[in-house]
Structure 1
Amino acid sequence: MKKFYLFLAVVMLVLAGCGQTNESTEQVEEQEQITLKVGSLIPPMTEILELVKPTLAEDNITLEMIVLGDNVQPNEALASGEIDANFFQHVPYMEEFNRNNEASLTPVTPIYFANYGVYAKEYDSMDQLPEGAVVAIANDVSNIDRSLSLLAQHGVITLKEKEDVYYTQNDISENPKNYQFEEVDLLMLSRMYDDADAVVMTPAYAAPLGLTPKSDALVTEGVENNFAITLVAREDNVNSEAIQKLAEAMTSEEVKTFLEENYDETAIPAFE
């Protein structure tokens, strides 16, 4: 009888141990589930993030997309740790935020080139723009630089040799037709299409107006530049496994095919 009770006690201990092991395994599995918060603004950025969600889920990463209302919030939220990454900007814009806010935002990988262009409601070519025409451009320093560089690339204006990080209107050395450059908030550019003679903007802001670079832009930028829309994280998390998995998913053949089939020349893949 003593042997039976001893045997029963051993069995109970073993079963208790198995229960603890299962409990421990479940806890580990639960810990491996990661939620990645990524801030973004508009398509195709938001569509790309939606597209890669299932891929990340296979690695136990839940992608939570936070759609924000302007082009300032995503960087503020990332710098403060409210989100883990953002996807809406090019590197020069990010660098300007870092300089102004003593932040340590860090590029992860470029995703696509948003083909910058000049659009006009009443004119079909730059030559048709009248003397003194009002040209609307974004008012942040990186996009002022980008807009002026695009116009200089096509001989519309001439710029001095760059002495600072960015070109400003003070760097215009020749403006033969005396164009007036009106600087407005990035999100206001599409609204200026009715009010200004021309607007310099990305396809994301031209698309709601039914405009595309190939069909409607007077001149375009192309891909020989450092303005690719880029996945951005922070210095403290850029090398984390979750962020690197996100970068891998966003530079997949699936994303490349999606851009080529749905956005053609308006969002040109920046990766092979």
Structure 2
Amino acid sequence: MKKIITLLVLTMFVLAGCSDKAKPAPGEKKVVNLKVATLIPPMTDMLEIVKPLMKEEGINLDIVVLGDNVQPNNALANKEVDVNFFQHVPFMEQYNESNGTDLVLVKPIYHAIFGAYSKRYKSMEELPEGATIAIPNDSVNTARSLIMFADQGIIKLKEGVGLKATQADIVENKKNYKFEEVDLLMLARMMDDADLVTLYPSYAAPLGLTPSKDALLTETVDSEFAISLIARSDNAESKAIQTLAEKLTGPEVKKFLEEDYAETALPAFE
């Protein structure tokens, strides 16, 4: 009986020792894991810049790079990631409307200057009648493209259609331009086939193109279209996500944008 009691005491002592080892040392911060879905530079670059800053706050930033502009929202809605960084608010709202989800804005981060580019022509005046213009095929970016052309007087849209605009809302197209709707990620490949292609700067940059030097026209900067940090309504106010928003709008990121992306990405924060 004494042997059994002794063994029980020893076992409890060993288990207690193991338990103590599993606990963080006194004063040691518990590491929080934060998973963020994203797509391409400069988004990926910005996240890499803040990753060590997040680590100082006891947060491990797990950057998940996905292959298209549907996966990041699906992953967020399905709780496979905690937050995403790749889209503007109208795109998020369209996703919510189509999928019955409740994704929410955390913080606008930067403005991606949207523009139209051509390999064949140097100005909109050179663009011939009946020219083919490639634009994104998702509803929000289709509307954004059409609004850009309408603002420049290239076409005219029905009054008040706003971000619901489709080609059916074009009421005046004096040069009979043909708008071809193409997947956003495939637009750069259309540079050889179309007369004019609308591109985000992230997709124009690999082609050696910048909005200020090469675009035949650009849209005005509108905060509504700022590339933003997006979360779910159930986690948007969490300390880890709010810390990420703080770091992405900090001096390190601002300096990076001003020095490396001055012609293509403008900070959406002071």
Q: Is there any run of 5+ residues in structure 1 with no aligned partner, and where?
A: 1-18
The number of aligned residues is 257
Distance 1:189 1:163 in 2: 24
Match of 2:237 in 1: 239
Distance 1:199 1:263 in 2: 21
Match of 2:222 in 1: 224
Q: CA 1:228/1:28 → structure 2, altered by over 3 Å: closer, same or farther?
A: farther
1:225 Cα deviation after fit: 4.6
Match of 2:196 in 1: 198
Identity of matched residues, %:
58
Look up the equivalent residue of 1:101 and give its one-letter code.
N
Look up the equivalent residue of 2:113 and give its one-letter code.
N
Q: CA 1:255/1:21 → structure 2, altered by over 3 Å: closer, same or farther?
A: same
CA RMSD in angstroms comes to 2.2
Match of 2:261 in 1: 263
Q: CA 1:171/1:28 → structure 2, altered by over 3 Å: closer, same or farther?
A: farther
Which one of the candidate residues 84, 87, 90 is aligned to 2:85?
A: 87
SS in 2 for 1:189: helix
Structure 1 runs (4+) deviating above 2 angstroms are 19-25, 27-32, 162-165
Aligned residue runs from structure 1 range 6-45, under 5 A? 26=24, 32-45=30-43
1:23 Cα deviation after fit: 5.6
Aligned residue runs from structure 1 range 14-163, under 5 A? 26=24, 32-163=30-161
Q: CA 1:222/1:68 → structure 2, altered by over 3 Å: closer, same or farther?
A: same
1:252 aligns with 2:264: no
Provide, for residues 88-143 of structure 1, a one-character-per-residue CA deviation record: whole Å limited to 9, x for no partner. Answer: 11111111110011011111101111000010101011111110000000000000
SS in 2 for 1:42: coil
Distance 1:27 1:221 in 2: 54
Match of 2:170 in 1: 172
Q: Is there any run of 5+ residues in structure 2 with no aligned partner, and where?
A: 1-16
1:27 Cα deviation after fit: 7.2
Look up the equivalent residue of 1:102 and give its one-letter code.
G
TM-score (ref. length: structure 2): 0.90
Distance 1:27 1:80 in 2: 34
Distance 2:113 2:142 in 1: 16
Distance 1:34 1:106 in 2: 22
Distance 1:52 1:31 in 2: 19
Distance 2:68 2:247 in 1: 25
Distance 2:236 2:38 in 1: 17
SS in 2 for 1:135: strand
1:221 Cα deviation after fit: 1.2
Distance 1:61 1:28 in 2: 18
Q: CA 1:89/1:28 → structure 2, altered by over 3 Å: closer, same or farther?
A: farther
TM-score (ref. length: structure 1): 0.89
Distance 1:172 1:222 in 2: 20
Look up the equivalent residue of 1:255 and give its one-letter code.
V
